[in-house]
Structure 1
Amino acid sequence: MVECEYCGAAFDDEEAHLQHLGDEHAEELGPIDRRRVDAAGDDEEGLPIVGLLSGAAVLVVFVVAIWFFFLSGGGGTNLDAEPAGMEDEPLPNRGGDEWISQVETFESNGAEHRPGEEIDYERVPPLSGPHWNDWVSAGFYTETPRMEELVHSLEHGAVVIYYDEGNLSDEAEASLRAWAANKDGQWQSVVVAPNPNDDPRGDYVLTAWTHRLVIDDYDAEAVQAFAAEYLGRGPENPVR
């Protein structure tokens, strides 16, 4: 026999006792008894609604976390390469002329906020122009985010690097993932994403607000030079 410590009622087995606790004493249960009742409620009649809702909430959070983890390229990588080693070092104040001399610079197309409006950019990937209120956080992405949000990231001082999916080497991916992981501030982030063009101008296109560098053979020193020159120096809130 099992006796209820809340009211003294007796039961033939623990299952009936736990059913009674859930039905009659749900508001009185301490944390240990609550966990026992929740664990025993495998059938619809015996499962307290609080436990059901808590389980559903945990499931939703888990699914969203897994989706975002893989969307941003956080999992499932088996790269046969390591980063170059400079990705976590402090940036020089300026980029080396070997690379910066190759950078193309364009006039700004404005910085107006047009939330929800699809923007027809003069060039793709865009380097400036109207954009949405949201922006893209630092990370290595396996699907290209909205251009309207990437432009807002550029305005924040981000460096957005586009790669040709068909020509991305393990060495380049390892390095680019490291750049994105180590440069993740809101006002000086590195965002890496697939090039949206079917026929990209180069295997890697480095962009900042009104600036672009196109390279075919990946070189971590090129990224370092470009980031040193432009990262954190967007028009909205320059921090370097």
Structure 2
Amino acid sequence: MKREQARQTRNRRIGIGGGIGAAALIIVLVIVFVVTGSGSTPAPVATKAEGVQTFTGLTQNHVTGTVDYPQVPPVGGNHAAVWLNCGVYDQPVPNENAVHDLEHGAVWVTYDASQVSGDQLTALRAALPTTYIVLSPYVGLPSPVVASAWGAQIQLTGVDDTRLADFLKTYWQSPDAPEPGAACTGGVTAPGLVS
């Protein structure tokens, strides 16, 4: 009988200890969840650099062939069904594929190769993120450097124009793009891909 009582006492203690341990674990998990879940991730600071033009009502249809875009370079609209692999190109890229990148939240930085080359081009590359960016020369630009995102564009006076950083902060991987975060690789590679 003493052995039975000792076994029951031991089992009771084990049960109580296990219950207290489980309750303590639940309390710790609730505290961790509240502490880590209550703080919201700060939204990126949306700055609108002086001179940004915005465009609304852009269509998003997949088409074949060339598209006559009203902006130079284009900022959205009908585009190729396959996106351009993001990266640095030393030759002009197809508008229709690059516009598909803009739909995915990429920024397309174009430059006038007759005005931007050598060290300036190296500095421009260094100022850009390594993903969700297309950098390419573009014939007929209205300024030495133009940065374009879906529905937004800024004409820059050159590589050292500080408004590029503000534009990237606002529009690079923007949740306002039609398909933010969709792939920027695994598409087509245009001639002239450098990296």
**TM-score band w.r.t. shorter chain:** 0.5 to 0.7
Classify the secondary structure of the residue corresponding to 1:165: coil
Partner of residue 75, structure 1: none
1:136 Cα deviation after fit: 1.7
Partner amino acid for 1:195? Y
Partner of residue 175, structure 1: 123
Partner of residue 57, structure 2: 108
Classify the secondary structure of the residue corresponding to 2:114: helix
Q: What are the ranges of 5 or more consecutive residues in structure 1 without an aligned counterpart?
A: 1-91
Classify the secondary structure of the residue corresponding to 2:78: coil
1:236 Cα deviation after fit: 1.1
Partner amino acid for 1:118? T
1:142 Cα deviation after fit: 1.1
1:41-90, Cα deviation, whole Å (9 max, x unpaired): xxxxxxxxxxxxxxxxxxxxxxxxxxxxxxxxxxxxxxxxxxxxxxxxxx
Partner amino acid for 1:166? S
Q: What are the ranges of 5 or more consecutive residues in structure 2 without an aligned counterpart?
A: 1-42, 183-195
Partner of residue 237, structure 1: 180
Distance 1:162 1:134 in 2: 20
Distance 2:70 2:162 in 1: 29
1:216 Cα deviation after fit: 1.7
Partner of residue 149, structure 2: 208
Distance 1:123 1:142 in 2: 22
Distance 2:139 2:114 in 1: 12
Q: Give the share of equivalent positions with the same residue, in percent.
A: 28
Partner of residue 21, structure 2: none
Partner of residue 158, structure 2: 217
Partner of residue 193, structure 1: 136
Partner amino acid for 1:117? G
Classify the secondary structure of the residue corresponding to 1:166: coil
Partner amino acid for 2:179? E
TM-score by length of 2: 0.63
Partner amino acid for 2:45? R
| Greater relative CO (CA pairs within 8 A, separation 6+) | 2
Distance 2:145 2:46 in 1: 18
Partner amino acid for 1:183? T
Q: Which of 91, 103, 113 is residue 165 of structure 1 equivalent to? A: 113
Write out aligned runs for 1:1-240 (5 A): 93-94=44-45, 96-97=47-48, 100-114=49-63, 116-179=64-127, 182-184=129-131, 189-197=132-140, 200-219=141-160, 221-233=162-174, 234-237=177-180
TM-score by length of 1: 0.52
1:108 Cα deviation after fit: 3.2
Distance 2:72 2:92 in 1: 12
1:95 Cα deviation after fit: 5.0
Partner amino acid for 2:44? N
Distance 1:93 1:172 in 2: 28
Are the structure 2 counterparts of residues 122 and 96 from structure 1 closer, same or farther at C-alpha, using a change threshold of 3 Å? closer
RMSD of aligned Cα (Å): 2.2
CA contact (8 A) 1:138 1:183 kept: no
CA contact (8 A) 2:121 2:159 kept: no
Partner amino acid for 1:124? V
Are the structure 2 counterparts of residues 175 and 153 from structure 1 closer, same or farther at C-alpha, using a change threshold of 3 Å? same
Distance 1:95 1:164 in 2: 27
Partner amino acid for 2:84? V
1:231 Cα deviation after fit: 0.7
